[in-house]
Amino acid sequence: MNRQTLYLLSVLIVGLALTVLLAHQIDAHRPPPDPNAIDESLYLNPSTARRMSLGFNGLAADWYWMRSLQYVGRKIISVPEDMAIDDLSELNLKLLAPLLDTATTLDPHFLDPYEYAAVVLPAIDVQEAIRITSKGIEANPTAWRLYQHLGFIYWQQKNYQAASETYRRGAQMPGAPQWMEAMIAKMAADGGSRETAREIYLRMFEQSADEKVKDMARRRLIQLDSLDQRDGLRKLLVAYQTRTGQCPATWREVQHVLRAIGTPVDRSGSPLDPSGAPYQLRPGACDLDLAVNSEVLSK
Amino acid sequence: MAETVTRIDIAKRGGFWRLIAIARNTFREAVRDRVLYNLVIFVLLLTAAAIFIGELSGGQERKIIVDLGLSAMLLFGVFITIFVGVGLVYKEIERRTIYAIFSKPVGRGEFLVGKYLGLCLTLLVNVVVMGLGVSLALVYVSKGWDPLILTIWPAVLLIYMELMLITALALLFSSFSSPALSALLTFCVFVIGHFSADLKSLATSLGSTGARWMFGGLYYLLPNLANYSFITPAAHGRSPAPVFVFTTGLYALVYIAVILSAATLVFSRRNFK
């Protein structure tokens, strides 16, 4: 190896090492992104993006889909509190609807973005959620899952008649499961009940291929279990008050009743919520709260 | 190229064998020029996608592997077609080897068609290897057999037909203009070819008869490349109907025949004496 080669090689290695160091320095001093900052709007509208894709529309749709996931993921990471993906209204996700709209315009048969729109968007922009999911039904009229998603949006909006009608249309599609049929009457007669909510989230948990949606449904089911549990515990506390004339000061005072009805308790005798955290007794109020470290969703 | 061709005793062979000899040498030249090295990039791209895309795609890795693999196949194919295709004739003229070829009993048409077939063979090797790469990536992400492996091959065939069409166009442009201009013109036709539906709707929506005729004429004159875009449906497990593949194949064949005839006509008028 001659001198010049050695010289050039050392410049190459030192130069590369320097660029890595400098890049690291720049990253370390970059101000953190403001989660409330206004997002730059997309350059292309969905139909223009489709025209410009030159036959690569599937790949472009994948790109927009991954961007949607990264966009939501980044915003969730930027806030310290635990949030369910169906309640992200505080995150200022203004770009989500255009991103999902573009992904589904580029590839109208790509079903996952519709599901994501139906689950995440209602808390941000319900009209866009309905529009995108309806667009999915128009492009995939036999996909019964899209009717399930649209019914879910209407149910969240407490529009039980529209939800029932959407389930009815979905139940007529080939391959639609039997429970879609059962949801028609349930939604029309008892749309606001906890049982209907349980049925909706249970079906969502069973049917969804998306892990995030599955997780959201699982957490909502745990929340429903906890709500039932809390109703039962409140009744127990009120019964104690009726019997003794005062509210219990600690859970130990009602320990024998808790054991009798089979409620799981920890070592201190506090009843455990479905995530395994102890319920906090509100002294003197005959009421209880979720523990700070509980994984049960509070709203 | 010329040395090899002249080594063969072309004069003793029939037209078909002369075509085969030119095609084979064009393929060898492409291999010598390391055109197939793009396969290495393709394999690296797919391997990276197969390993890492799962974390980014929300469980859509199979769809993304197909979209990415087939799109890369089309994109790399178009680059090869444009950058190799436009130089096929020009290089022979620049190196003056064309004089040696035409001093033998080789027709202008035979020369062009032979060159065309040689590049098509290169592209065939390229798309088949890439198709196998996508299939293997699907086996990897699905941890076994995946029904998408079967549905991608009709889409691969349509991509190949599109590349054959673009190759013919590149050859036509290179028969009368410089490589840079040929590359630009071929790329423009590739872009406009994917806007065919817009040309047709423009033709029907415009008020002026002249404009209607112009856009209508352009719609029929330029190749409708949107017909060959079956990547997205393939990623959803859908295959084109056999009749559709047959008619698009026939369309490609007729169009290629027209383009190569035009290229031969133009090329025959050039003076190489």
pLDDT of res. B200: 77
Residue A58 near chain B (CB below 8 Å): yes
Please tell me the distance from the alpha carbon of residue A187 to that of residue A199, in angstroms, as a whole number: 10
Look at B231 and A55 and tell me if their CB atoms are within 8 Å.
yes
Average pLDDT, chain A: 85
User: How would you class B269 by CB atoms within 10 Å of its CB: exposed for 0-12, middle for 13-18, buried for 19 or more?
Assistant: exposed
Rounded-to-integer distance, Cα B203 and Cα B215, Å: 5
pLDDT in tens, A190-232: 777 888 888 888 888 888 877 778 888 888 898 888 888 888 8
A207 in a structural domain: no
Give the other-Cβ count within 10 Å of A219's Cβ: 21
In a domain, A11, yes or no: no
Which tens digits make up the pLDDT trace of B202-214? 777 777 888 888 8
Domain boundary among A193, A213, A241: A193
Of residues A83 and A294, more confidence is placed in A294
Considering only CB atoms, B67 lies closest to which of A58, A112, A210, namely A58
Find the range with the poorest average confidence among A119-133, A258-272, B10-24, B101-115: B10-24
Give, for A152, the enclosing helix (H) or strand (E): helix A144-156
Region of poorest pLDDT, from A114-118, A182-186, A189-193? A189-193
pLDDT at position A219? 86
How many domains does chain B fold into? 1
Q: Among A85-89, B12-16, B49-53, B238-242, which range has the highest average pLDDT? A: B238-242
Rg of chain B (C-alpha set): 20
- Is A213 a member of any domain? no
CB contact under 8 A, A59 and B68: yes
**pLDDT, tens digit, 9 for 90 and up, residues B174-231:** 988 889 999 999 999 999 898 887 777 777 777 788 888 888 888 888 898 988 989 9
Closest Cβ opposite residue B59 in set A58, A70, A209: A209
Instruction: Determine contact: B235 vs chain A, CB below 8 A.
Output: yes
What's the total number of domains in chain A? 2
Span B6-24, mean pLDDT? 71
A249 and A170 in a single domain? The answer is: no
Q: Residue A78: which domain range?
A: 46-193
Q: Flag if B235 and A58 touch (Cβ within 8 Å).
A: yes
Instruction: For chain A, say whether B38 makes contact (Cβ under 8 Å).
Output: no
In angstroms, the separation between the Cα of residue A267 and the nearest Cα of chain B is 40
Structure tokens at A187: 């939604």
At residue A93, the pLDDT reads: 85
Chain B within 8 Å of A212 (Cβ-Cβ)? yes
Tell me the average pLDDT across A43-55: 79
Write the single-letter amino acid at B179: P
Residue B12's pLDDT is 57
User: Do A159 and A270 share a structural domain?
Assistant: no
**A112 to B60: CB separation less than 8 angstroms, yes or no:** yes
Size of interface A-B (CB pairs under 8 A): 65
The answer to whether residue B19 is domain-embedded is: yes
Flag whether B51 is in a domain: yes
> What is the C-alpha to C-alpha distance for residues B189 and B255, in angstroms, rounded to an integer?
14
| Domain enclosing residue B111, as ranges | 2-194+229-268
Interface pTM (ipTM) of the complex?
0.74
A189 and A237 belong to one structural domain = no
B73 interfacial to chain A (CB closer than 8 Å): no
Q: Please give, rounded to a whole number of angstroms, the shortest distance from the CA of A246 to a CA of chain B.
A: 53
For chain B, positions 174-213, list CB contacts with chain A under 8 A: 190-191, 194-195, 198
Of B57, B229, B235, the CB nearest to A55: B229
Asked if the model's pLDDT at residue A41 lies above 70, the reply is: no
CB-based contact B45:B205 (threshold 8 Å): no
Mean predicted confidence (pLDDT) in A128-153: 93
Q: Which of A131-135, A191-195, B102-106 has the highest mean pLDDT?
A: A131-135
Q: Which of A69, A107, A110 sits opposite B56 (nearest CB)?
A: A69
Last residue of a domain, one of A141, A163, A193: A193
Is A56 in CB contact (< 8 Å) with chain B? yes
Report, as an integer, the average pLDDT of B121-150. 90
User: Which residues of chain B make contact with A212, given a CB cutoff of 8 A?
Assistant: 58
**Could you tell me which residue, A130 or B105, shows the higher pLDDT?**
A130
Write the CB contacts of A67 (distance below 8 Å, at least 6 apart in sequence).
A99
| Cβ contact A65–B57 (<8 Å) | yes
A70 shares contact with chain B (CB less than 8 Å): yes
Answer yes or no: do A178 and A248 share one domain.
Answer: no
A167 contacts: CB under 8 Å, gap ≥ 6: A147, A148, A151, A180, A183, A184, A187
Mean pLDDT check: name the lowest of A4-8, A25-29, A113-117: A25-29
Confidence of residue A237 (pLDDT cuts 50, 70, 90): confident
Same domain, A186 and A70: yes
Chain B partners of A55 at a C-beta cutoff of 8 Å?
Answer: 74, 194, 225-226, 228-229, 231
Alpha carbon of A54: minimum distance to chain B alpha carbons (Å)? 5
Provide the whole-model pTM: 0.76
Residue B3 confidence (pLDDT): 46
Same domain, A168 and A261: no
For residue A64, the chain B residue with the least C-alpha distance is B57
Give, for B191, the enclosing helix (H) or strand (E): helix B179-193
Token look-up 């029904």 returns B147
The shortest CB-CB distance from B194 to any of A54, A107, A116 is to A54
Q: Is residue A215 part of a domain?
A: no
Looking at the domain assignment, is residue B212 inside a domain? Answer: no
- Give the per-residue pLDDT at B19: 86
pLDDT band at B2 (very low <50, low <70, confident <90, very high): very low
Q: Which residue has the tokens 């660029």?
A: A19
Total length of chain B: 273
Q: Which residues of B touch A59 (CB under 8 A)?
A: 67-68, 71, 231
